[in-house]
Amino acid sequence: MGFGYRCASGTRYKCNVCGYMVETSENWAFYRNVKGRIKTHMQPLCLSQWAMEAGVKGYYQSAYCPACDRLRKVITDEYETPRFESDKHKWFDEFVALIKKLCNGEPSEPSVERSFEHTCPACGGKLYEHLDKLSCPRCKKGLFKMGDHWVC
């Protein structure tokens, strides 16, 4: 949920022993090509002609599987029909509906850490968006430490 397009952002994690670096990221806008495959929009979105013409079908994030030592795409949102920057008013309606829902007795405590429960499509292992203190699969001695954070 949001107003207008979202900005991609990412965080780099580095092993404190061997220096191996992994970068997880989120809010990658995508569209689907004629074969239905996910294609990443250029970021920032305002520069992407496809974002203007094909719209945004949804967003994915890139999460890490330590067992495979690979990044995996996890779709976090996918819309029935592609969205365009000009659809802002629809998004606003959704926002108002959500606020109404929250005000109707549901606990409104803000959850700082949203739960991230996804498994690797290849090995079935747990995927991680935060790698802090996760053991490094390369040297098997070190731990990942959070490094740079970027926003497109």
Contacts to Zn ion by CB under 5 A: 15, 17-18, 20, 65, 67-68, 120, 122-123, 125, 136, 138-139, 142
What is the smallest separation between the CB atom of 3 and Zn ion, expressed in angstroms? 35
What is the smallest separation between the CB atom of 139 and Zn ion, expressed in angstroms? 3
Cβ proximity to Zn ion: between 96 and 122 the closer is 122
Cβ proximity to Zn ion: between 90 and 133 the closer is 133
Going by the DSSP 8-state scheme, the letter that residue 7 receives in this structure is: P
What is the smallest separation between the CB atom of 23 and Zn ion, expressed in angstroms? 15
Cβ proximity to Zn ion: between 31 and 144 the closer is 144
Cβ proximity to Zn ion: between 46 and 122 the closer is 122
How many beta carbons lie within 10 A of that of residue 54, not counting itself? 17
What is the smallest separation between the CB atom of 45 and Zn ion, expressed in angstroms? 29
- The rounded distance, in Å, linking the Cα atoms of 145 and 71 is 17
Q: Which amino acid is at 37?
A: R
What's the first-to-final CA gap in the chain, in angstroms? Answer: 19
What is the smallest separation between the CB atom of 134 and Zn ion, expressed in angstroms? 11
For 61, list phi and psi in degrees, rounded to 5: -125, 160
| 3-state helix vs strand vs coil in the chain, percent to 5 | 20, 40, 45
Q: Cβ(56)–Cβ(40) under 8 Å?
A: no
Cβ proximity to Zn ion: between 88 and 138 the closer is 138
